[in-house]
Amino acid sequence: MKPIEYVACLDQMYQSQGFPPYKWSEFDESPWTPFEKPLNEAKIALVSSAGISRDDQEAFDPWAVNGLSFREIPLDTPYEKLKLNHNYFDHRDALKDLNCVFPLQRLKGLEGEGVIGAAAGTAISLGMGRLYKRTALQNETVPRIVDVLKAQQTDAVLLVAA
Amino acid sequence: MDHQSVGLIARSIEEAGLPTVYLGSCRDMMARLYPPRGVFLNFPLGHQCGKPQDVSLQVSILTDTLNVLSTATEPGQIVDLSYEWDEPYEWTDYTKDIEAMLGEEGGMAQEWKPKET
């Protein structure tokens, strides 16, 4: 397959439905924190936007708009206790195997094989959907996520977009 | 649009002092965000870490992704993974798949108007 031009296609789809043009975020430089530990000694935390929650947590809105909350998912949660609520992508394969978008079991496996030092005990899932409140995401939600990550001595973060 | 939001999250986490690596499947959206360390897998959305039940593929995609933490030398690079989706797949397949999924699951189509929050 050829890479899909999602920005152009989404713009066309939403504007044809009468939405005003969306102003996409654009940057031309990146922040940088050096990764100094060998990978096989580092504790890696998972952050996924696939709309995953535990059955005792509030589920995400599958058609979220400005979803700014997150769920903490303990690493040892059995997959049958997890739910996925996200309709912006075809999630049928992910429901057969959540590792497609929320690779907790694979991360545990990589710890077992010694590829990474450890998988952090708590993973983070979000379900943001169409996001207009970017400042709130960066200034309110992310600092709370960072607190969770730092409290468990995370060395680096694997982000998976859904 | 989550690919934009996750890019913003990656930038903010990195600014807070934790190194990040960002695995995604919308290259154009990722590139605009300049995530500190990006990894692109050219698979249909919903398979960002591989195909269901294919443990070895998933392990290998994730290992390649995590290695970028160590190999990236400058901010803002996107590494293109070489795995190939073995069937043609384009935008119209993406929208058709979502329709088929909603039909199968009895899910509602998206409301026209953004909800007030």
How far apart are alpha carbons A20 and A35 in whole angstroms? 41
Whether B113 maps to a domain, the answer reads no
The answer to whether the complex's ipTM is over 0.90 is: yes
Among A120, A118, A99, A82, residue whose Cα is nearest residue A162: A99
B82 touches chain A (CB under 8 A): no
B38 touches chain A (CB under 8 A): no
Return the pLDDT at B1: 73
Whether B114 maps to a domain, the answer reads no
Per-residue pLDDT of chain A (162 residues; tens, 9 = 90+): 999 999 999 999 989 988 888 889 999 999 999 999 999 999 999 999 999 999 999 999 998 889 999 999 999 999 999 999 999 999 999 999 999 999 999 999 999 999 999 999 999 999 988 888 999 999 999 999 999 999 999 999 999 998
Closest residue in chain B to residue A146, using alpha carbons only? B13
How far apart are alpha carbons A92 and A120 in whole angstroms? 27
Whether B35 maps to a domain, the answer reads yes
How far apart are alpha carbons B53 and A22 in whole angstroms? 37
Which parts of A42-138 fold into alpha helices (H)? 92-96, 104-112, 134-136
For Cα atoms B50, A56, A150, give the angle at the middle one, nearest 5 degrees: 65
Give me the residue from A5, A93, A156 closest to B18, CB to CB. A156
Note whether B19 contacts A33, CB cutoff 8 Å: yes
Domain residue limits at B44: 2-105
Return the pLDDT at B116: 43
Chain B interface disruption, residue of A24, A26, A32, A68, most B CBs within 10 A:
A32
- Give B100 or A18, the one with higher predicted confidence: B100
A144 touches chain B (CB under 8 A): no
- Which residue type does A100 have? C
How far apart are alpha carbons A58 and A96 in whole angstroms? 22
Return the pLDDT at B101: 95
Whether B115 maps to a domain, the answer reads no
Give me the residue from A93, A103, A161 closest to B3, CB to CB. A161
Note whether A142 contacts B21, CB cutoff 8 Å: no
b/e code B80-108 from CB counts within 10 Å (16+ = b): ebebeeeeebeeeebeebbeebbeeeeee
Whether B92 maps to a domain, the answer reads yes
Residues facing A69 on adjacent strands: none
B48: which residues sit within 8 A by CB, 6+ positions away? Answer: A100, A101, A160, A161, A162, B23, B24, B25, B41
Whether B16 maps to a domain, the answer reads yes
Taking the whole predicted model, whether its pTM rises above 0.90 is answered as yes
Whether B112 maps to a domain, the answer reads no
Chain B interface disruption, residue of A6, A108, A130, most B CBs within 10 A:
A6
Q: pLDDT tens for residues B30-87?
A: 999 999 999 999 999 999 999 999 999 999 999 999 999 999 999 999 999 999 999 9
Whether B84 maps to a domain, the answer reads yes
Domain count, chain B: 1
